[in-house]
Amino acid sequence: MVYVDDIGSFPLPQEVTKDEFNKIYPLAQKAYAEGKDLHELSELKAFCLAVESSLRYKINSGLDVINYPQHYDMHKQFLDAIEEHQREPYLIERKYAVIPELSIVESEAKGYYENKEEKLKLKVCVTGCIELYLKTPFGYHIYKDVLDNLAKSVNRFLKNSILNTKYVKTQAVAIDEPSLGIVDLLDVEKDDLVSSIEKSVESVSTDVQIHLHSLKAAELPLRASGVDILTGEFASSPMNMELIKKSELENYDKFIRGGVSRTNIDYIIAELMEKGITPEGNKLVDDVNEIRKRYIKAKEFFGDRMLYAGPDCGLGAWPDQKVAQLLLKRTVKAVKGVH
């Protein structure tokens, strides 16, 4: 079976502004870490509303595995908490390595369970240690001790975020490393990068994905123990499919998550405008047959080494929740129509 999942980010509901959400997110994170019920805190009403709304749109799209809705900056979400609650440089205190959106997932999953008579299959994305490192003052110059502490912090976020309850099953986790293979890292050996990836996912007992924008550096996660699945963005970057072979996946006993629907909204809008088409509504979303062709091509290329499929990347920059949901729905329909 190929699971259809998503990457994470999603448009906010109209009732909540980006500035409002950004202002209260750190409060939600701290409150969740300290065991408070977020629904009972009036100052977090907008946070709960936004996450509940996006989660319901995702659930109703038909996804097999649902990534918690990410509305906050993917770097600040983790790096701010690490810097505020570090016991040594870039090593977060375990208690504060939390994702507050999961509080909403737990409460919403009960209704899903009662309606579907099955657990909500959850995916948890955490920004990877290499990506976070690039946002520190050290930039592209890698200091191994700092990178290792960030890897341990990522690991703490992952371990604290795996929910397995009556209503929720954490089907997969993912570390997001979009810069890996795109930027040049200095003063670092490949073995040290592999080691940092391994530390990030050490002793995580569920499907472990690594989300890459390019597969040029696929060698690193291929070599990393604990990583099960590499993501390839095949919709917007078809050449990615040529950067890794099925035989390599077999040799390392790894699998692929194929991106089969485009999410690079700026490019899509420009493309439509060049054709004289007003870039709005369902015109922004790839046709089901187009998505299906990409999926079939990827499935033929990777065979049983393809375990997940979905959009290339997140949908946070898309115009609104309805059109973002339409992309998810069409992706689900395209993949499920092949089985």
Q: In this structure, which amino acid lies at residue 149?
A: N
Of 223, 218, 224, 220, the C-alpha closest to 302 is 218
Helix (H, G, I), strand (E, B) or coil at 43: helix
User: The domain containing residue 135 runs over which residues?
Assistant: 3-336
DSSP states of 249-293? HHHHT-EEEEEEE---HHHHHHHHHHTT----GGGGSPPHHHHHH
Query: Which residue's entry shows tokens 């299959």?
Result: 121
Contacts 24+ apart (CB under 8 A), 161-167: 161/98, 161/99, 161/102, 161/124, 161/126, 162/124, 162/204, 162/205, 162/206, 163/102, 163/105, 163/106, 163/122, 165/106, 165/109, 166/113, 166/119, 167/106, 167/109, 167/110, 167/112, 167/113, 167/119, 167/120
Note the pLDDT of residue 324.
Answer: 98
Q: What is the CA radius of gyration of the chain?
A: 19
Cα distance between residue 89 and residue 331, in whole Å: 42
Helix (H, G, I), strand (E, B) or coil at 337: coil
Torsion 242-245-249-255 (CA) sign? positive
Note the pLDDT of residue 187.
Answer: 87
Which CATH number do you get for residue 81? Answer: 3.20.20.210
> HSE-up of 322 (CA within 13 Å, CB side)?
5
What pTM value is reported for the model?
A: 0.96
- Structural domains of the chain, count: 1
Helices (H), 60-201: 76-84, 101-116, 129-133, 144-160, 190-201
Of 55, 49, 65, 48, the C-alpha closest to 10 is 55
Helix (H, G, I), strand (E, B) or coil at 3: strand
Cα distance between residue 125 and residue 313, in whole Å: 12
Measured CA to CA in angstroms, residue 258 lies from 25, 231, 275, 300, 335 at distances of: 31, 6, 28, 12, 11
Q: Are 176 and 125 in contact (CB under 8 A)?
A: yes
Note the pLDDT of residue 186.
Answer: 83
**Structure tokens that stand for 10 in this block:** 């999603």
Classify burial at 125, counting beta carbons within 10 Å of its beta carbon; exposed 0-12, middle 13-18, buried 19 or more: buried
Note the pLDDT of residue 339.
Answer: 60
In tens digits, the chain (339 residues) has pLDDT values of 899 999 999 999 999 999 999 999 999 999 999 999 999 999 999 999 999 999 999 999 999 999 999 999 999 999 999 999 998 999 999 999 999 999 999 989 998 999 888 999 999 999 999 999 999 999 999 999 999 999 999 999 999 999 999 999 999 999 999 999 898 888 889 999 999 999 999 999 999 999 999 999 999 999 999 999 999 999 999 999 999 999 999 999 999 999 999 999 999 999 999 999 999 999 999 999 999 999 999 999 999 999 999 999 999 999 999 999 999 999 999 999 876
